[in-house]
Structure 1
Amino acid sequence: MPASITGDELERLHEQRVLWLEEIEGPVVALPTEYPDGHLVPRHSHSRSQLLYALAGVVLVTTDAGRWMVPPEHAIWLPAGVHHAVEILGAVSMRSIYIAPDATIGLPTHLHVVALTDLMRCLIVEAVISDDNPPPGSRGALVTGLLLDELHNLPERPLGLPFPAEPRLSALCRRFVEKPSPHATIDEWAAVLAMSRRSFTRSFQRETGLSFSVWRQQACLFAALPRLADGEPVTSVALDLGYESVPAFTTMFKRMLGVSPRFYLSGTLAQRQQPS
């Protein structure tokens, strides 16, 4: 997509794409899109489920269930019919896989974040450059079949950073994501909003579906993931985020992702060294 394309042109292209998705046949449609920083994909829905993967950059997905920031090396699953908008944070290279409801048995019916396996990441790249609705037995059809099968192997993660809709609280969350710290407290945030601790706790839970402490941990994790993926030492990442020791950071990391930072780091570097 040309770098000089305007926001209005992007919006028109998006409207055309949504209509096209309702008309095209075939079990899987894979589309690449390049978005500039600050662009907003307006609220919409489609009859296909969507696996939304930001190859580069960060997206904020808003649905009736909440707002979700998708971490690097992960994707968000949007079931068919879910109304959603997408806010672009930084220049984003998006890869979307749209899947027909009858494409395979057992498609997930709930919105959630998944980790991408090495195989799925490669299949997404191949699907994007393949022809739409490839003939049976062709390479594209084999890629599509394997992609549908691999969907069932994507591990669900308790991630996706929900954002509140209330403007003042949302502004606090945005500032925290820009500079996260494990030492932020409920009392500090409640004071900024001129709320009691009890009122703030209830409001935060209602707006995000998470306790403040869990949300804070996930925000810190989001800040750590791209730095680890870029090869930064675990020690420097942990200390820069405000953790008093590497073991304290590792404990949080394993609780959230199920693996240690070093294991995540080695796996991510191996994935990036694979040809695309």
Structure 2
Amino acid sequence: MKDEAIDYSDQLDGPSLIAFWGTENSDHDFRLGTREYDWHSHKRGQIFCVESGLIHVRTARGSWLLPPHRAGWIPPDVRHKVSVSGAMNGWCVLVLPEIGRDLPPHPCVIGISELMYALVRRAASWYDQDFLEPEQERIAAVLLDEIVQAPLEPLHLPMPSEPRLLRIANEILQCPEDSRTLDDWAAWAALSPRTLRRLILAETGLTFAQWRQQARLTHALEMLARGDSVAIIADALGYSSPSSFIAMFRRAFGDSPGRYLATRREK
């Protein structure tokens, strides 16, 4: 997003809800190319969606990916770091803390309904107003309700903080194809297998196998967004065949890799 959206995201005066819609030729909102935004936070909450490109968001709680046709939510005052890849088209909604109290307390990715899409389109037409009219406030309330009811997407990768566990996590992220067992990793980090099981569940809410699969899914989505083939991705992640990778992906997301990144809005 360009300066207009960034300025509004840190202003608590003005309309309670501000929406932007951008394309690669827009004068505001979204810019082209791969870029990084270092650690920062905003006074307003942000709901945003890309129709092309890929966003990687890092927070103190871990990281998550925003593929096309899903919406990301970052609550007010949550420090985050953002990496944007590709030519972005999409939208962003900025909300004051007092009207976003029912939204999730932590960053997340949600599915998009046709109604949500239409409401954002309507809200984007209110750009540059000093306040919302009563009818617009009602539409904004419906949009927020739609966001609250939206299904969560399993795109979060929680990161541990315990130093030995963090070493293992970073090594797996660097080499997602590494097929070492839990016992192997425990020995590598000078942990007992029992301690490794206990720590990773306590710190991430996932078992070791679940966490490694989520890490591989994160890599898979990044590679898919770059246009890599399923065969290349399966090999890079250590799967014995493309079909075994596709089966894992379908179990996690309910869709094949190709269909998952295609246009998909919840009806």
Task: Compute the TM-score of the two structures, normalised by the length of structure 2.
Answer: 0.68
Secondary structure of 2:262's counterpart equals helix
Task: Please list the CA deviations of residues 214-241 of structure 1 after superposition, one character each: whole Å capped at 9, or x if unmatched.
Answer: 1111111112224334554434422332
Equivalent AA in structure 1 for residue 39 of structure 2: V
Query: CA distance change for structure 1 residues 255 and 148 in 2, over 3 Å: closer, same or farther?
Result: same
1:77-226 matches, cutoff 5 A? 77-79=73-75, 83-89=77-83, 96-100=92-96, 103=99, 107-111=102-106, 113-117=108-112, 119=114, 131-133=127-129, 136=133, 147-148=143-144, 150-152=146-148, 154-167=150-163, 169-181=165-177, 183-226=179-222
Percent sequence identity over matched residues?
Answer: 26
Query: CA distance change for structure 1 residues 193 and 126 in 2, over 3 Å: closer, same or farther?
Result: farther
1:62 maps onto 2:59 in alignment: yes
Query: CA distance change for structure 1 residues 96 and 240 in 2, over 3 Å: closer, same or farther?
Result: same
Task: Please list the CA deviations of residues 132-181 of structure 1 after superposition, one character each: whole Å capped at 9, or x if unmatched.
Answer: 4476599x999867744642563212331111234554354344334312
> What is the match of residue 23 of structure 1?
13
Which segment drifts farther, 208-217 or 172-181? 172-181
Query: CA distance change for structure 1 residues 237 and 109 in 2, over 3 Å: closer, same or farther?
Result: closer
Query: Displacement, 1:193?
Result: 2.0
Equivalent AA in structure 2 for residue 223 of structure 1: H
Equivalent AA in structure 1 for residue 58 of structure 2: V
Larger RCO (CA under 8 A, 6+ residues apart):
2
Give the alignment partner of residue 252 of structure 2, picking from 243, 246, 256: 256
Give the whole-Å Cα distance in 2 for the aligned partners of 1:116 and 1:223: 20
Query: Displacement, 1:123?
Result: 6.6
Secondary structure of 1:243's counterpart equals coil
Give the whole-Å Cα distance in 1 for the aligned partners of 2:123 and 2:235: 40
More helix per residue: 1
Query: CA distance change for structure 1 residues 256 and 37 in 2, over 3 Å: closer, same or farther?
Result: same
Give the whole-Å Cα distance in 2 for the aligned partners of 1:130 and 1:191: 59
Secondary structure of 1:183's counterpart equals coil
> What is the match of residue 51 of structure 1?
47
8 Å contact from structure 2 (residues 103, 147) kept in 1: no
Query: Displacement, 1:268?
Result: 2.9
Equivalent AA in structure 1 for residue 158 of structure 2: P
Equivalent AA in structure 1 for residue 195 of structure 2: S
Query: Displacement, 1:191?
Result: 2.6
Equivalent residue pairs, number: 250
Query: Displacement, 1:50?
Result: 2.8
Query: CA distance change for structure 1 residues 269 and 213 in 2, over 3 Å: closer, same or farther?
Result: same
Query: CA distance change for structure 1 residues 122 and 175 in 2, over 3 Å: closer, same or farther?
Result: farther
Task: Compute the TM-score of the two structures, normalised by the length of structure 1.
Answer: 0.66
What RMSD over aligned residues (CA atoms) do the two structures have, in Å?
A: 4.2
Query: CA distance change for structure 1 residues 171 and 122 in 2, over 3 Å: closer, same or farther?
Result: farther
1:266 maps onto 2:262 in alignment: no
> What is the match of residue 26 of structure 2?
none
Give the whole-Å Cα distance in 2 for the aligned partners of 1:19 and 1:178: 35
Give the whole-Å Cα distance in 1 for the aligned partners of 2:189 and 2:59: 23
Give the whole-Å Cα distance in 2 for the aligned partners of 1:129 and 1:168: 51
